[in-house]
Structure 1
Amino acid sequence: MKLRITVQGTAYDVDVQVLDDSGGGAPPAAAASTAPASPAPAPAGGTAQDITAPIAGTVASIPVSVGDSVGAGDTVIVLEAMKMESNIDAPGPGTVKQLLVKVGDTVTQGQVLAKLG
């Protein structure tokens, strides 16, 4: 059976083997794939796509500018939380339409950081 699990905003496709209730059966095959699933498709018709903070933290850097084209997986914002930096990546290709934060801003989990179109 295939399942999709999302961990901190990254989707993973997982293969699961269901064993019978008696506890017997073959040993489980590899339970999880380590490769992330395909990114979400780009929005149709130029609709803005929000990039949100998966964690609370401080904006450490913004390696893009309004008007820049980005591809799936390109870093749009870098957040610092608990002395660790986390790249916040574009979920799909698009153009940076708005940056709603600046370096040094404190953000909350789920806050919209940027919009792609």
Structure 2
Amino acid sequence: MGAAVGGAIPGEKRPRVICGDGGFQMTAQALSTMAKMNMNAVVIVVDNGLYGYEQYLLDPRYYRSTTTLPLPCAELSRWDYCGLAAAMGVGLTAKADSVASLRMALANAKGHTGGLSLVQAIVQSRSLPPGP
């Protein structure tokens, strides 16, 4: 998020930020600066409700089972990311919980060139990218 602020300052390129919800919860206040400065960026928050990497490192069984619970230290507080963004002055917000709704939200964000956009991409907590 902080790098996107720096990247958007010249106004020559449109930053696209992909941030996990855990990292975003530590840097969300950058939205306020981006909105105030009318920075034309797209922020995508991948919302799985976990510090997923920590969960994987401490107890990878969670990702191989449907009955194992996440570690309490890996669970995030549930935030209304779109509501937070709107409160900070973000011009366009959207929630996406399917491939079709994500495509639509990204298309809308691409078309919104008058300021900051935020897309909350909701994914399953056990969702991991394929590994080697």
Give the TM-score taking structure 2 as reference length.
0.22
Q: With CA pairs under 8 Å and 6+ residues apart, which has the higher RCO, 1 or 2?
A: 2
Q: Which structure dedicates a bigger proportion of its chain to strand?
A: 1
TM-score normalized by structure 1?
A: 0.24
Name the structure with the higher helix share.
Answer: 2
